Structure 1
Amino acid sequence: MPTWNLPTERPSLQAARIKLPAELTASIRVGATQLAMMGDQSQHKCREGNLEYTLDEHRHRLLGDEKTGESIPSFKPTSRRGSTRALLDGRNNGYSPKKILFAPATYNLAETTRMLDIARGVSRHEFAKDIFEVYFLSEGGQFERLIEKEGYTLKRSGPPLTDEKIAHIYAVNDEEKIGTIFTRQELVTKVTGDVASLKELQPIAVITGSNLSVPVACQITGTPLVWIVQSTWFEEFFASGAGVTDGIRFAPLKRIADFFVYIGIEFWMWYGFIRPVNAAAKHFDVKEYKPVFNFFKGDITLVAEPSGFSGIPLPENHFYVGPLLANQDFPIPDEVRNIPRDMPLVYFAMGSSGTATVVAQIIESFKGAPYRVIAPVKQLIKTKPDLEVPPNVLVTDWLPALQVSKMADISVIHGGIGTVMTAALAGKPVVGVGMQPEQRANIACLERKGFAVRLSKSKDLPKRLQEAIRSQLSNSEAKRKAEEYSMEMAKWNGPHNAADILYQKFGKAD
């Protein structure tokens, strides 16, 4: 008799699974046998649009080849209704849902909204919504309110980060200050709080994108860890020059330059971020992160971009899911909706991590320019009360980035992965001013695709920025390439794909 074969999982993940009650296990076996009697389900044909494929092929399209990490733009699970759904819906059998815990850096807008995007995907997924119960863990920050606004349960771990500490984190991250973002003792305290939270909640998995203490806590408690990253964080990308050396044509010279870029970035990451993490790991007698890039590898790692974004092949157990964007219901003020269109329109966004001095410098450079600017940077220039905003610049609070980006002719951004994915999906040419290596690398990926110009924040920025904006506004080829890439981006449903992989890996019955 044929059997019902669920996708296999790695032993480390299987070991972390919660055992089902005996009566539910028996029900699943009976249901599986009944389904198997209908025929070999691995060869049952499914449809998605005009495509037809078997269930085995369907699973492969989602999870891809685990050796190459190849996956697909979107995946819509096909299911039988009725009894099969009842078997998968644990609540119908008196089975408690599995807790899945998101642990964003809630002082960072892009990080918080990425996690919320996946959480929404889980809440809307045909199967995952009945299997998982979503929780959030916070270390403090102004964007906790976005989580609470959407009704998810928020648990705070340890003493919250102060505004002063958050400013210090950004200064180190943006290369404005030399130092470490946390001390050893601060991280030991944070890890202790995280361990207590994990022991209390007992989640089936923890998902993070930049929280430094949670990975150590997951090691201590044996909780599966899911990283949300982009390929510009990979060691292979930095080893190939991180986009910095793209202009060097002489191969031997490029290899030398690549080496020094790699050494510089590795030291920056180790000294500012991973050194205190390893000190905390050593304190708790768990594995340290060596080399430093191993820190960003979880039990599984979801890559929040379309395939081919950087050209770097995925390591084992990494999966493309597509872009994860800020989809919050920020209002569009009337002055933005009704901005005069008598001149070209520039969208100027620096996320939540743009450096105040650089943002102010850019705003001042817009004075007298032959275009209008929408600039949702109000939160970033609070420390610049004497800044004179030119009359052609409209400074606002946070806006729905994708909607407003589509209104503009070009985007000027700092290169965080959220702003990069938003600009690319909007299909408009880009001028990028990265604050730190990862942001510069993200912009380099768009530059390689032919619709971005990358600038240094420290080299005669006002003059070079205005030259780049004028060039991009009149660059029809950049506009064409941006529109083409936007159509490629639109094929991906990041929240759904992420939810699907989480369900396949952690939600399926044993």
Structure 2
Amino acid sequence: MLFAPAAFNLAETSRMIEIAKGVRADPVAREAFSVRFISEGGDFEELIESNGFEVERVAPRLTPEKIAHVLAVNDEEKFAPAYSKKEMIAKVAGDLAAVDRLKPDVVVTGSYLSMPLTCRLRGIPLVWAVQSTWLPDFFATGAGTTDTVKPRWFKRLVDAVLYPVFRSWMWFGFIHSVNQAAGHYGAKTFSPVLTFFQGDTTLVAEPPGFSDVALPDAHFPIGALLPEQQFTMPVEVEQIPNDFPLVYFAMGSSGVGHIVKELIESFRGKPYRVVAPVRSLLAGQDVAVPDNVTVTDWLPALEMNKRADIALIHGGIGTVLTAALAGKPVVGIGMQPEQVANISCLVEKGFARRVAKSRNSRKMVAAVHDALSTLLSDEDARRAAVEYAASIQDWADGSTRAARTLVDRYGSTRGDIPRSARNGR
């Protein structure tokens, strides 16, 4: 079983590690599969190895500049393709050399962009780990951005206008170069665009009912994939006084640096203390960190959420479900459509507020502090957060369900692999 994370993204890498740990911990899965990882580069390759897994490093390697470009496209900071046709062809060539050497029976990915085409070319079954906010039905109904539009007929009209916009963004930024590479290699292209995210098996990394999207065939809800014991709590966090409400400000590894800087500086003089594991996002910037803000490297996120009174997050599925499992209100600033959609799912549950990402930083910062102030004094929101947390505790361990699903689907012999996968669907 070959795991293919985008190792420059902490949340994505952590999800792959947690599934692999579930396979390793389950006696039947451990007997069925040996586990390897593949990576084209990124800061979190060492995290994979520190969890006891081998990493096959493939060429061409992603440079820091290329990783920054891909993240900027993903966060809508740049309107450009993440990869050129030439780059994607080279990426697929590197993948093919690796899979021909390793001969995996199944590949698991979450956002390794060239791997779906690589699997199609070699007839290897592909497992996606996604969330329902990646699925076509969610984008077709506004991706959470039109929930407040009234009346219903006008919402449907707005949704119909937005859907091609979402698809065009995904096609131009990510899928077009993959389809160009598919043409180069003589393979079937991914059309419609969002079929790119449909594996032979799809692990939906969220609890049932997180969104109102009905899951298609071969989509299996597994619950949250949250990292366990990867990081320790810094001494400076342990020493924070308990004199004001505590805000946990987390933007993952893909948050936009200038937005993080503006928010950090805006906490000066505010009536709360802030813990912000955003040091890597502030690199290279001159930031005036206020006395009531503690900036750190990565933290044990679930434990930190439980200590905090409220979470201010970017809306990645990991940050959203960590806050939800901790039973804390959420203020979310999505950097891109999927994150906006994830936050909207908590808004619908009554304990979150969504703030639009904006180039008008003064307006955005004011909206963030208004939302924080409102939620910190909202007893109904706190009660809704606690009640939702209690309702999903049985879905906190997605790694175990993922391992069992993979055993059920692929754990016997290659002859049991779905025919569609062997035919390179």
What TM-score do the two structures reach when normalised by structure 2? 0.95
Deviation string 1:422-470 (CA, Å, 9 cap, x unpaired) is 1111110000001111100000000001010000121511111111000
Q: Does 1:123 align with 2:24?
A: yes
Q: CA RMSD in A?
A: 0.9
Q: Quick check: 1:355–1:380 contact (8 Å CA) kept in 2?
A: yes
Residue 476 of structure 1: which of 340, 362, 379 is its match? 379
Q: For residues 190-235 of structure 1, what are the alpha-carbon distances to aligned partners after superposition, in whole Å with 9 as ceiling and x for unaligned?
A: 1011111111111110000001111111011111100001000111
Q: Residue in 2 aligned with 1:210?
A: 111
Correspondence for 1:348 among 245, 249, 265 = 249
- In structure 1, the residue matched to 2:419 is none
Q: Give the Cα–Cα distance (whole angstroms) in 2 for the partners of residues 239 and 219 of structure 1.
A: 26
Question: 1:328 offset after TM fit, Å?
Answer: 4.2
> Which residue number corresponds to residue 32 of structure 1?
none
Equivalent runs, 1:158-307 vs 2, <5 Å: 158-307=59-208
Q: What's the CA shift string for 1:73-127, capped at 9, x where partnerless?
A: xxxxxxxxxxxxxxxxxxxxxxxxxxx0000000000000000000110000121
SS in 2 for 1:490: helix
Matched, 1:466 2:369: yes
**Identity rate, percent:** 54
Distance in 2 (CA, whole Å) between partners of 1:130 and 1:239 is 41
The CA deviation at 1:290 is 0.7
1:1-12, aligned counterparts within 5 Å? Answer: none
Aligned residue in 1 for 2:392? 489
Offset of residue 329 of structure 1:
2.3
CA contact (8 A) 1:242 1:261 kept: no
For the residues of structure 1 that align with 2:214 and 2:256, how far apart are their CA atoms?
32
SS at match of 2:394: coil
Deviations 1:263-319 (A, max 9, x none): 211110000000101101111111111111100001111100011111100011111
Q: Does 1:152 align with 2:53?
A: yes
Secondary structure of 1:155's partner?
strand
Distance in 2 separating the partners of 1:159 and 1:328: 32
Match of 2:310 in 1: 410
Write the distance in 2 (CA, Å) between the matches of 1:287 and 1:481: 47
For 2:284 and 2:367, the matched residues in 1 are separated by: 25
Give the one of 323, 327, 351 matched to 1:423: 323
CA contact (8 A) 1:230 1:417 kept: yes
Q: Distance in 2 between matches of 1:489 and 1:402?
A: 14
Secondary structure (helix, strand or coil) at the match of 1:228 reads strand
Distance 1:264 1:404 in 2: 37
SS of alignment partner, residue 275 of structure 2: strand
CA distance in 2, matches of 1:329, 1:146: 8
Aligned equivalents of 2:151 and 2:390: distance in 1? 34
User: 2: CA distance between counterparts of 1:419 and 1:191?
Assistant: 31
Structure 1 contact 229–304 (Cα < 8 Å) conserved: yes
1:102 maps onto 2:6 in alignment:
no
In structure 2, what is the equivalent of residue 373 of structure 1? 274
SS of 1:252 mapped into structure 2: helix
> How far, CA to CA, are the matches of 2:304 and 2:15 in structure 1?
19
Q: Deviations over 1:381-437 (max 9, x none)?
A: 0021x2100110000001111111110000000001111111111110000001111
In structure 2, what is the Cα distance between the partners aligned to 1:263 and 1:131? 42
Report deviation, 1:183. 0.5
Counterpart-to-counterpart distance in 2, 1:451 and 1:252: 27
Q: CA deviation at 1:362?
A: 0.9
Q: In structure 1, what residue type is equivalent to 2:297?
A: D
User: Quick one: which of 343, 353, 369 aligns to 1:453?
Assistant: 353
Paired position in structure 1 for 2:421: none
Q: Tell me how far apart the structure 1 counterparts of residues 262 and 192 of structure 2 sit (CA, whole Å).
A: 37
Letter in 2 for 1:498: A
Distance in 2 of aligned mates of 1:265 and 1:327? 34
Matches within 5 A, 1:308-327: 308-327=209-228
- Counterpart code for 2:94: G
Amino acid at match of 1:473: L
Separation in 2 of the partners of 1:258 and 1:446?
Answer: 20
Q: Matches of 1:185 and 1:488 in 2, distance apart? A: 48
Other structure's SS at 2:111 match:
coil
Specify the SS of the correspondent of 1:136.
Answer: strand
Q: What is the TM-score when the length of structure 1 is the normalising length?
A: 0.79
- Tell me the SS of whatever aligns to 1:347: strand
Contact 1:356 1:383 in 2 (8 A): no
> Which of 403, 407, 414 is matched with 1:499 structurally?
403
**Equivalent position of 1:57 in the other structure:** none
Q: Provide the residue aligned with 1:433 in structure 2.
A: 333
Alpha-carbon distance in 2 for matches of 1:252, 1:471: 31
Secondary structure of residue in 2 paired with 1:133? coil
Distance 2:347 2:198 in 1: 27
| Structure 1: stretches of 5+ with no match in the other structure | 1-99
Deviates more, 1:479-488 or 1:265-274: 479-488
